[in-house]
Amino acid sequence: MVATSDIVIEVRDLDFYYGDMKALRGVSLNIKRNQVTALIGPSGCGKSTFLRLLNRMNDLIPGTRVEGQVVFEGKNLYDEDVNPVDIRRRIGMVFQKPNPFPKSIFNNVAYGPRLNGIKDKKRLDELVVRSLKQAAIWEEVKNSLDKSALSLSGGQQQRLCIARALAMAPEVLLMDEPTSALDPIATSRIEELVEALKKDYPVVIVTHNMQQAARVSDDTAFFYMGEMVEMGNTERLFTKPEKQQTEQYITGRFG
Amino acid sequence: MTPAMSEGDVQMSSLSAGGNQDSNSTTSVVELKVQEGLPKYFFLAAASTSLLVMALIMIFLFREGLAIFGKVNPVSFFFGKAWYPTYDPPEFGILALIVGSVSVTLFSSLVAIPLGVGTALYLSVLAGPTVREYVKAAVELLASLPSVVLGFLGMVVIAPAMQQILDVPTGLNIVSASIVLAIMAIPTITSISEDALYAVPRDNLEASYALGATRWETMSRILVPGALSGIGTAVILGMSRAMGETMVVLMVAGGAAQIPSSLFDSVRPMPASIAAEMGEAPFGGEHYHALFAIGIVLFLMTLIFNLVATYISNRFQQKGASTL
Amino acid sequence: MTGAGSRRYRMMTERVAFGVIRLLAGLVVITLGSIVLFFALSGCERHQLVFPD
């Protein structure tokens, strides 16, 4: 059994609506410390929607509604007195398509710290270098920090986006299909990076690629039609699924 | 008139280029080629006709206008302060007219830029979908008001009100003309700025929010910098419209060919001068040529505005393309 | 991390800036509204469709 202190985010009976459409029903699961949690499932099953609920990114879409609780550090993220801006500072996010700002590499990484009011050049330098090293891109860009981030390749851009998220010193890192726009080599570099990051950050990764989930994650949750069907240790889930739907999905009978 | 035409040319030439590629890919089918040739020549003819007409207009303008410099020295024409075209001997100094044009253009931009850009920002950041639809429709309605109608409004409402409230000698002055010009420039500035704001990739805004930026931080650090060249283009096109506008300045600027000493003085901007005097100027006389020369000055000024706008928006497009 | 002071300052900046933007957009809409109203009213007067006092 896992001790409660190992749980970073506890989701209880989460329902989510886009207007009248119920996109998620009754999802409950735990995100644990020092682990990679993978969310898998066919397209439209609600896994990305669920991920975006963990840092309140869905607040930006008008006409959505949330019921249930997402407890982070003992506090429900959807309580009235919680400011979503504060949540997003503490829970970082990396998107499907690399989306660096049309600014220099340095300014991309420094964007978050500057929002936090860090103006001191030395401290910014330190933070940028540390984040780029953590995201395993420092060696490639150390001589071109003033160049536009858009001059990097897709895989480099994605690692830069990870560095940008890490510069905020987040408590959790959310990744929404971070390799779906990348080639196999860039993908394996990101996967190595995810492995390395889990020592310091709990990672939640959405992927449509089951092999990827099997390679990088410790726990896997299978989503289908807006419900969380099954969750457990990745190896166990892929070898001995408890539910029939899970088995059908991982054996490729639908998807 | 000029920018619209040249834009049309670009579209034409790109169309005929597209036709070329198609005919290359279907070289074996002779009939198809003939069918494709017809529209191609049609567009070519249309494009060259409009080019030809433009060239003829330019030649005419410059031939009629440059003739004045045979009789009046260019320095005293451009820098002379006295515009007495019907005196004997006449004086053709257009400095007062240039100052008139520049003053109403600058002051109207001062009013129109914050209002126009502010409205664009409101539409793209703050307005809900319903409000947005209504405000956009309203701004487009503003664009469709004929300039003579706005000039009428300036004469009948703004000028008398200003005269009474501020106790100035005449309500037909720089400020009231600028206000009316600003009303005309706002739709241009708003709609082009809003397009530019809309063209900023949503991904970048999302990334900014995900890093814990507030709406204001995202707007000021990502949205506005990303749209800056588009907003610059919008502002310059708006100014160019104010510079070339005739009816409003003819009706509301007061028409005094003097160098103004305050914002509440009457002025006679260049287009107003041409429109008011061309009917009385004897064909082929000095006055007639002088008015054409004013037309050249006006043309060059608007051309510069449009070139700057094109330059800015080209840079913007290249930056956009490199996001791939 | 962010202090409460700078947080309050940021919220205030945002409120003021958005207030200004709303004001500018409002001015444009009011201008348009009064132009339309002006023409509508003077048109009515011309056709003796004077509204009762």
Q: What is the DSSP string of C13-38?
A: HHHHHHHHHHHHHHHHHHHHHHHHHH
Question: B198 and B143 in one domain?
Answer: yes
Residue B322 has pLDDT above 60, yes or no: no
| Residue B187 touches chain A, beta carbons under 8 Å | no
Q: Contacts of residue B190 in chain C, CB cutoff 8 Å?
A: 28
pLDDT digits (tens, 9 = 90+) for A89-116: 999 999 999 999 999 999 999 999 999 8
How many B/C residue pairs have CB atoms within 8 Å? Answer: 65
Chains that touch B (3 or more CB pairs under 8 A): A, C
Say yes or no for a CB contact (<8 Å) between A95 and B203: yes
Decide the pairing of beta strands A219-224 and A36-40.
parallel
Rounded to an integer, what distance in angstroms lies between the CA atom of residue B82 and that of residue B211? 62
DSSP C50: P
Question: B132 and B105 in one domain?
Answer: yes
pLDDT digits (tens, 9 = 90+) for B22-78: 444 444 556 666 667 788 889 999 999 999 999 999 999 999 999 999 888 999 999
Q: Report the greatest alpha carbon distance in chain C.
A: 69
- Chain A interface test: which of B205, B211, B219 (most A C-beta within 10 Å): B211
Rounded to an integer, what distance in angstroms lies between the CA atom of residue A168 and that of residue B211? 7
| Contact indicator for B159, B172 with CB cutoff of 8 Å | yes
Residue B11 has pLDDT above 60, yes or no: no
- Half-sphere CA count of B79, side-chain side, radius 13 A: 4
| Residue B226 touches chain A, beta carbons under 8 Å | yes
The larger pLDDT score, comparing residue A66 to residue B21, is at: A66
Say yes or no for a CB contact (<8 Å) between B138 and C32: yes
Judge whether B58 lies within some domain: yes
Which residue of chain A comes nearest to B203, CA vs CA? A99
Q: Contacts of residue A171 in chain C, CB cutoff 8 Å?
A: none
Rounded to an integer, what distance in angstroms lies between the CA atom of residue B180 and that of residue C35? 11
Q: What CATH number is associated with residue B92?
A: 1.10.3720.10
Decide the pairing of beta strands A227-233 and A91-94.
unpaired
Residue B257 has pLDDT above 50, yes or no: yes
Q: In angstroms, what CA-CA distances link B78 with B88, B99, B105, B275?
A: 20, 11, 19, 19
| Residue A161 touches chain B, beta carbons under 8 Å | yes
Question: B196 and B294 in one domain?
Answer: yes
Q: Contacts of residue B209 in chain A, CB cutoff 8 Å?
A: 57, 60, 88
Q: Token pair 């940021």 is at which residue?
A: C10
B108 contacts: CB under 8 Å, gap ≥ 6: B177, B178, B179, B181, B182, B185, B242
Say what the pLDDT of residue B188 is. 92
Question: B208 and B159 in one domain?
Answer: yes
Among B11, B37, B70, give the residue marking a domain's end. B70
- Chain C interface test: which of A116, A119, A168, A171 (most C C-beta within 10 Å): A116
pLDDT digits (tens, 9 = 90+) for B194-243: 999 999 999 999 999 999 999 999 999 999 999 998 999 999 999 999 99
CA A152 to chain centre: 22
| Contact indicator for B170, B163 with CB cutoff of 8 Å | yes
Question: B255 and B233 in one domain?
Answer: yes
A127 contacts: CB under 8 Å, gap ≥ 6: A109, A110, A113, A118, A167
Query: Is the ipTM, as predicted for this complex, more than 0.85?
Result: yes
Question: B106 and B46 in one domain?
Answer: no
Judge whether B4 lies within some domain: no
| Residue A117 touches chain C, beta carbons under 8 Å | yes
| Residue B189, domain extent | 75-323
Rounded to an integer, what distance in angstroms lies between the CA atom of residue B8 and that of residue A163? 46
Torsion of CA A72, A78, A81, A86, to 10 degrees: 60
Question: B279 and B137 in one domain?
Answer: yes
Say what the pLDDT of residue B140 is. 87
For residue B91, report the phi and psi dihedrals to the nearest 5 degrees.
-125, 130
Please report, for chain C, the start and end positions of each structural domain, with discontinuous segments joined by +.
1-53
Quote the tokens at residue A222. 């299978």
Q: Contacts of residue A169 in chain B, CB cutoff 8 Å?
A: none
Question: B168 and B61 in one domain?
Answer: no
- Half-sphere CA count of B315, side-chain side, radius 13 A: 13
Residue B151 has pLDDT above 60, yes or no: yes
Among B70, B90, B107, give the residue marking a domain's end. B70
Residue C2 has pLDDT above 60, yes or no: no
Residues of chain A with pLDDT under 50: 1-2
Strand positions, DSSP E, chain A: 7-18, 21-32, 36-40, 64-72, 75-76, 91-94, 172-176, 203-206, 219-224, 227-233
Mean confidence (pLDDT) of chain B: 85
| pLDDT grade for B9, boundaries at 50, 70 and 90 | very low
| Residue A89 touches chain B, beta carbons under 8 Å | yes
- The domain total for chain B is 2
Judge whether B98 lies within some domain: yes
Q: In angstroms, what CA-CA distances link A206 with A220, B54, B291, C18?
A: 10, 59, 71, 36
Question: B180 and B44 in one domain?
Answer: no
Quote the tokens at residue B2. 């000029």
Segment B237-257 shows an average pLDDT of 91
Rounded to an integer, what distance in angstroms lies between the CA atom of residue A86 and that of residue B251? 56
Which residue of chain B comes nearest to A96, CA vs CA? B203
Beta bridge partners of residue A228, listed in sequence order: A223
Say what the pLDDT of residue B38 is. 81
Which residue of chain A comes nearest to C2, CA vs CA? A116
Question: B223 and B140 in one domain?
Answer: yes
- The nearest CA of chain B is from the CA of A94 a distance in Å of 8
| Contact indicator for A197, A173 with CB cutoff of 8 Å | yes
Say what the pLDDT of residue C10 is. 77
Q: What is the helix (H) or strand (E) element at residue B83, kind and residue range?
A: strand B83-84
- The nearest CA of chain A is from the CA of B198 a distance in Å of 16
Which residue of chain C comes nearest to B127, CA vs CA? C22
Among B12, B46, B70, give the residue marking a domain's end. B70
| Contact indicator for A200, A221 with CB cutoff of 8 Å | no
Q: Contacts of residue C3 in chain A, CB cutoff 8 Å?
A: 117
Q: Token pair 């930056």 is at which residue?
A: B319
- The nearest CA of chain A is from the CA of B132 a distance in Å of 14
Say yes or no for a CB contact (<8 Å) between B209 and A57: yes
Question: B194 and B89 in one domain?
Answer: yes
Residue B320 has pLDDT above 50, yes or no: no
Judge whether B2 lies within some domain: no
Question: B122 and B56 in one domain?
Answer: no
